[in-house]
Amino acid sequence: MRALRAETRRSGVWYPRWLWPSFASPATLWLIVFFALPFYVVVSVAFGTTDFFRNPLPVYQPWYWSFSSFTSVVGRFAGAQPFYRPAFLRTLIFVPAASFICLVIGFGIAYYAARWAGKTKGLFLMLLVAPFWISYLMRIYAWQGLLQQAGWINKVLDFLHITNTSVNWLEGRPVTVIVGLVYGYMPYMILPLYAQLDRIDPNLLEAGRDLGASPARIFFRVTLPLSRQAILAGLVIVGLPMFGDYFTNDLLGTAKTAMFGNLIDNAVQNPGEGPQAGSLVLLLTALLLVPMAYYMRSSRRLGEQSS
């Protein structure tokens, strides 16, 4: 009887059949027009042509598509004149490096918040969430002032005798950009890790301890395996936007540290490069397809678990 009732309730027998679809349709329609359709436009621009003044001419009929712009863009990554390759390789180094640093430091912080914060837990969590309410722009901009040659970072480093000549941190140094990325995306790593670590039953750790395992062994055999999902999710959450990031480098680096996002942004800003911009967006989307699919699958699984 109970099961039957649950069934009828869930299938919405009491509500008219059209009711729930009508709730979902406005946003669905919105996403079709302003999310799915724009992707088609990107494809049409990437596989389109340009007119005499180098304005892009999108081609909406697939049978007229020309792949000359697209192949020339691909050629800039792989061909004889690889203009785009350095930025691409840089992205492939910067993003994993920054994501990994985020993971190592973020795990420690999330672990502290979940296990050891004690009475200060509420305050600590509030401070962890605070950066989310501060715009990314403001947070990176703050570093621009600090990292200037006469800025406070150099003052501190001089004071500690770590460097005795003033370093120009903003002249296109990979270290600056990587630290900027870590700074910008760290909060996105900590929260999923915290949510997972907080859910681990302390009894499991205690059981390990009672059975004679060392703290390190408990960490590697219990805590780490139980947080695998959150680690992967965190890496994807910080990695995906980093691949499209151009502003961190714009504010803290130069053309010497340009990333994939900068290639796209430059192409958009230059009037004649519409097809290139479209092609680059397509390539980035293709590159990120696997991590995006993974993230969506894992978040759907989480949703099923909690329902």
Partner 1 sequence: MSAIPATVARRRGRDPWRRPRFLPLLAWAYVAWSIVPVLIAVLFSFNAGRSTSVWQGFSLRWWFGDPSAGESLWYNPELRTAIAQTLRIAGLTVLIAVPLGVLFAIGIDRWRGRPPAAANFVMLLAFVVPEIILGVALFLTFSFLLRSVVHLGTTAQVIGLATLQIPYPFIVVRARLLTINSDYEEAAMDLGGSPVQAIRRVLFPLLVPAVFASAVLVFANSIDDFVVVRYLSGSAPTEPLSVKIYNAARSGPPPSINAAASIMLSVSLLAALLGWTAFRWVSRGRRIRSARSALVDLRV
- For partner 1, the closer of residues 76 and 91 by Cβ is 91
Residue 96 contacts partner 1 per CB under 8 A: no
One-letter identity of residue 214: S
Residue 133 contacts partner 1 per CB under 8 A: yes
Give the range of 63-71, 91-99, 159-167, 244-252 binding partner 1 by CB under 8 A.
244-252
Residues contacting 303, CB < 8 A, separation 6+: none
Residue 53 contacts partner 1 per CB under 8 A: no
**Total residues interacting with partner 1, rule: CB under 8 A:** 110
Residues contacting 307, CB < 8 A, separation 6+: none
Q: Which H or E run contains 57?
A: strand 56-57
Half-sphere exposure of 305 (CA within 13 A, CB side): 6
Classify the C-alpha dihedral 162-167-170-176 as positive or negative.
negative
Residue 84 contacts partner 1 per CB under 8 A: no
Residue 159 contacts partner 1 per CB under 8 A: no
Spatial distance between the Cα atoms of 122 and 110, rounded to a whole number of angstroms: 13
47 within 8 A of 65, measured Cβ to Cβ: yes
Stretch 253-282 residues interacting with partner 1 (CB under 8 A)? 261, 264-265, 268, 274, 277-278, 281
Residue 221 contacts partner 1 per CB under 8 A: no
Residue 306 contacts partner 1 per CB under 8 A: yes
Residue 24 contacts partner 1 per CB under 8 A: yes
- For partner 1, the closer of residues 22 and 68 by Cβ is 22
Residue 145 contacts partner 1 per CB under 8 A: yes
